[in-house]
């Protein structure tokens, strides 16, 4: 009985951390009906906002208060909005900025490529972390170099979102309670990931 309870708890934790995508459908989805973005955003008090503003607002919203009937997928060039009625709208991302949301972890993670602002859940919710990011290679040295170093608190969903310069290679370093995770990411590819869930915190 105890083994069954433990297995059930582990299964539940995997489902919790795998919240970046909806349940699989047995039938191919119908083509979405295109609507204006404000039609999807207005019921949630987000009408009139651009992609960057919507992302920042939703990322900062506590998980329990995030819209249940709105999906918001962060892609390199667009923020894709959709709902259960099969309606879809797209907002262009900033031309000179690339958004990536990082969920550092110690024990459990999940696969993710494009960040979902309303369903993705990471392990370290509301935790203090250090973020260092630096553009590397080519023109990213000397006076034109770009870098970031700050202390952050992860959002309620366990992610920390960062706006980075486009078309760069970025060396990213996350620290938390003595653990360190490092990775180089690209912000110039058309299918570059906006959701990073592979940065496991190891001993420094």
Report the CATH number at residue 188.
2.60.40.3700
Residue 53 falls within a domain, yes or no? Answer: no
pLDDT of residue 40: 96
Q: Which residue has the tokens 């433990």?
A: 6
User: According to the model, what pLDDT value does residue 169 have?
Assistant: 95
Full strand arrangement of the beta sheet holding 195-196: 160-165, 97-102, 195-196
Beta-bridge partner residues of 150: 131
For residue 46, being part of any structural domain is answered with: no
Question: In the chain, which stretches have pLDDT less than 70?
Answer: 1-19, 21-30, 138-144, 204
Tell me if 57 is assigned to some domain. no
Quote the pTM value.
0.83
Distance (Å) of CA 83 to CA 33, 59, 66, 89, 194 = 10, 18, 13, 10, 21
Q: Given the structure tokens 């309620």, which residue do they identify?
A: 156
Would residue 58 count as lying in a domain?
Answer: no
User: At a CB cut-off of 8 Å and minimum separation 6, what does 202 contact?
Assistant: 179, 180, 181
- Domain assignment present for residue 5? The answer is no
d(CA 76, CA 92) in angstroms, rounded, equals 9
Residue ranges making up the domain that contains 152:
97-203
For residue 9, being part of any structural domain is answered with no
In a domain, 80, yes or no: no
In a domain, 3, yes or no: no
Looking at the structure of the chain, the number of domains it has is 1
């Amino acid at each position: 009985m105890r083994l069954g309870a433990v297995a059930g708890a582990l299964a539940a934790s995997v489902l919790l951390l795998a919240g970046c995508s909806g349940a699989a459908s047995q039938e191919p989805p119908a083509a979405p009906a295109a609507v204006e973005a404000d039609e999807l955003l207005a019921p949630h008090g987000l009408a009139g906002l651009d992609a960057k503003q919507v992302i920042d607002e939703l990322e900062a919203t506590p998980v329990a208060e995030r819209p249940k009937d709105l999906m918001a997928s962060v892609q390199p060039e667009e923020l894709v909005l959709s709902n259960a009625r099969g309606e879809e709208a797209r907002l262009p991302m900033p031309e000179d900025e690339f958004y990536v949301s990082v969920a550092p972890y110690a024990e459990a993670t999940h696969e993710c490529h494009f960040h979902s602002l309303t369903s993705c859940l990471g392990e370290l919710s509301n935790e203090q972390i250090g973020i260092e990011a630096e553009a590397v290679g080519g023109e990213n040295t000397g006076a034109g170099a770009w870098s970031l170093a700050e202390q952050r608190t992860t959002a309620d969903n366990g992610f920390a979102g960062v706006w980075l310069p486009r078309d760069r290679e970025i060396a990213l370093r996350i620290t938390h309670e003595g653990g360190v995770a490092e990775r180089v990411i690209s912000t110039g590819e058309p299918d570059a990931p906006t959701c990073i869930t592979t940065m496991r915190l190891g001993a420094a």
